[in-house]
Chain A
Amino acid sequence: MLRNRNLVGWLQAAPLATVLLGFLVAPIAMIVIVSFWGATEYSIYPAFQFDNYQFLFSSPVTYTVFFNTLKYAAITWAFTLVIGFTVAYFLAFEIRSLKWQIALFLLCTIPFWTSNIIRMISWIPFLGRNGIANSTLISWGVIDEPLEWLLFSDFSVILAFVHLYTLFMVVPIFNSMMRIDRSLIEAARDCGANGFQTLWNVIVPLCKPGIMIGTIFVTTLVMGDFITVRFMSGSQRANVGRLISNDISLLQYPSAAATAVVLLCTVLIVIAVLLRLVDIRKEL
């Protein structure tokens, strides 16, 4: 019977396993292999050398870029957490009818199903030198001349990240909040807790799994990104993803692969730390 159950299970899981083996495990294995290869200007050749890693770790650019990547991840994480938690709290605790909760929740999630590239492009009329933000501020007399740092800067990169990824915080935190037994909150109030104490000592701890899942999503998405940084900084800022994509465009695949391996290790370490704190499967 056990044998039979395993067999049927394997058959049903086979398509998923095949796709993941072919397009996740194999590509990563390939990247690890190629990271030891050598490259000429036009082609790559099999080898077993540590040149790519040596070059990577000896270049000061690498450290700056990795630091920059972690910086983007940390700042974006902080903003998405605060905004996401507040929005989720409003939906879960201040909206009382389920119908409205669902409607407003969907309102927040619809942009997720539209194009990220278009959502980035749509910031240009706002942030440009003659954009809406600058002309509004000038007409209000807040500033005399246009702010140069609105577009193509760290500011616009992080703004775009927050714009694109806050949803990944809202959804899991909202999910956690909806599972909180409302009588716990009543109990806290009966015991004399004020609003803030209830929030901090009851709601936040119970939302921890949601916060963790959101955190994993946001940090890994930001750390693996290359297109948002390239587009929103007008190619003036760099993160690890851009380092990789630059190497790719120069056909320096082994070097790109080595950077990719180091990036993957960084991401995996971050996730391993976060996963220690929560069991995702229980939370669905």
Chain B
Amino acid sequence: MERRSRSFYLLAGFFGLFVLFLYGPIVTIGILSFQGPQGGLTFPMNGVSLHWFRDLFEEQAVGDIWGSFRRSFALGLMVMVTTVVVSVLAGLAFRKRFAGATVLFYLSIASLVIPSILISLGVGLIFNQLGFRVHWITSGFGSQLTWTLPFGLLIMFAVFNRFDKSYEEAARDQGATPWQTFAHVVLPIIAPSLLGVALFGFTLSYDEFARTLLTAGSYNTLPLEIFGMTTNVTTPVIFALGTLTTLFSLAVIGTFFLTVWLLSRRRKRPSDAGKGMV
């Protein structure tokens, strides 16, 4: 092993500080959410208890946390499935260089960099003027897609730029229809990346705030509910909630990586393809 240079240790130190900067605050509220019943929003710890977690389960203390969690979860799943399907289709479309592809590409990029409050305001205005009621299932859902779809599309670009076309050609040469080529050749190859698209779709929707603000209607999603709490809740109960929803996000991310890992392990095993023929 080559000896490490001095710059390695300097940069490693910098990296360590960066990771501390990223995770320090969230770990702190994780610890503080175990404050005793008399404890405040910062250290010192006034005893250790589960008091604030228990509070989360009492309606009066915090409002409609669980309802908003269920809505965010359902909306996250809706956005996830839609993002995967629409991104794959669009990714396939862009490979064909159809007329108008450039415009659509720039629209997608615009969707990513446009200030979120414009989407929120514009969609809200349209729904009002048309006399529709804003609701998280309709206006909220569409607004969130403008944030998740560009990410999905960019991932699909990255995937198809690295895609070896000879697999498809081989399938075609053997007489596969376009649908068979897609279902039995293309799809299995890009499947792990689709999990990535799904991860983006779900988590970005689950945590989305600005685009949902004016488009969720009278029922709040979880981030809206949490933001509402910041103005009137001054106890560590908000830390407890933050800890729980962060743990939930981490569990989702963990599930995703576990699945990818299991998939890649299965792939490495020698295939039994063709054995049935003998």
Residues of A bordering B, CB below 8 Å: 5-6, 8-13, 15-17, 19-20, 22-31, 34, 83, 86-87, 89-91, 94, 104, 106-108, 110-111, 113-119, 121-126, 128, 130-132, 135, 163, 166, 195, 216-217, 220-221, 223-227, 231, 241, 244-245, 248, 253, 256-257, 260, 263-264, 267, 271, 280-281, 284
Please indicate the chain B residues that have their CB under 8 angstroms from the CB of A260 in the complex.
Answer: 115, 117-118, 121-122
Contact, CB under 8 Å: A264 / B242: no
* Chain A binding surface SS class: helix
Contact (A9, B121) CB under 8 Å given A125-B29, A125-B41: no
In the bound assembly, the distance between CA atoms of A10 and B101 in angstroms comes to 9
Contact, CB under 8 Å: A90 / B25: no
Please indicate the chain B residues that have their CB under 8 angstroms from the CB of A221 in the complex.
Answer: 113
In the bound assembly, the distance between CA atoms of A125 and B200 in angstroms comes to 29
Contact, CB under 8 Å: B209 / A130: no
Contact, CB under 8 Å: B161 / A115: no
Contact, CB under 8 Å: A224 / B8: no
A-B contact pairs, 10 of them (CB 8 A): A15-B86, A16-B90, A24-B111, A27-B121, A115-B223, A117-B227, A118-B245, A130-B42, A135-B43, A244-B121
B246 within 8 Å of A (CB atoms): yes
Please indicate the chain A residues that have their CB under 8 angstroms from the CB of B249 in the complex.
Answer: 113-115
Contact, CB under 8 Å: A241 / B117: yes
Contact (A257, B125) CB under 8 Å given A19-B149, A284-B161: yes
In the bound assembly, the distance between CA atoms of A135 and B21 in angstroms comes to 18
Minimum Cβ distance to chain A for residue B158 (Å): 5
In the bound assembly, the distance between CA atoms of A87 and B17 in angstroms comes to 10
In the bound assembly, the distance between CA atoms of A275 and B148 in angstroms comes to 22
In the bound assembly, the distance between CA atoms of A25 and B106 in angstroms comes to 12
In the bound assembly, the distance between CA atoms of A179 and B55 in angstroms comes to 51
Contact, CB under 8 Å: B125 / A253: yes
In the bound assembly, the distance between CA atoms of A13 and B203 in angstroms comes to 24
B145 within 8 Å of A (CB atoms): yes
Contact, CB under 8 Å: B22 / A118: no
* Nearest residue, chain B, Cβ from A111: B22
Please indicate the chain B residues that have their CB under 8 angstroms from the CB of A5 in the complex.
Answer: 96, 98
Q: A114-B250, A116-B207 are in contact. List 16 more A-B contacts (CB 8 A).
A: A12-B90, A15-B86, A16-B104, A24-B146, A87-B15, A87-B18, A90-B15, A110-B253, A117-B223, A118-B29, A118-B242, A220-B115, A241-B115, A253-B125, A281-B157, A284-B157
- Candidates A9, A104, A130; contact of B15 at CB < 8 Å: A104
Please indicate the chain B residues that have their CB under 8 angstroms from the CB of A106 in the complex.
Answer: 257
Closest 9 CB pairs of A and B: A27-B122, A224-B115, A9-B98, A122-B25, A12-B93, A13-B93, A113-B203, A220-B113, A9-B96
Contact, CB under 8 Å: B207 / A27: no
In the bound assembly, the distance between CA atoms of A86 and B119 in angstroms comes to 34
Contact, CB under 8 Å: B119 / A23: yes
Please indicate the chain A residues that have their CB under 8 angstroms from the CB of B23 in the complex.
Answer: 111
What 1/0 flags go to B243-278 for Cβ under 8 Å of A?
001100110110001000000000000000000000
What 1/0 flags go to B210-242 for Cβ under 8 Å of A?
100010000000010011001000000011001
Minimum Cβ distance to chain A for residue B237 (Å): 12
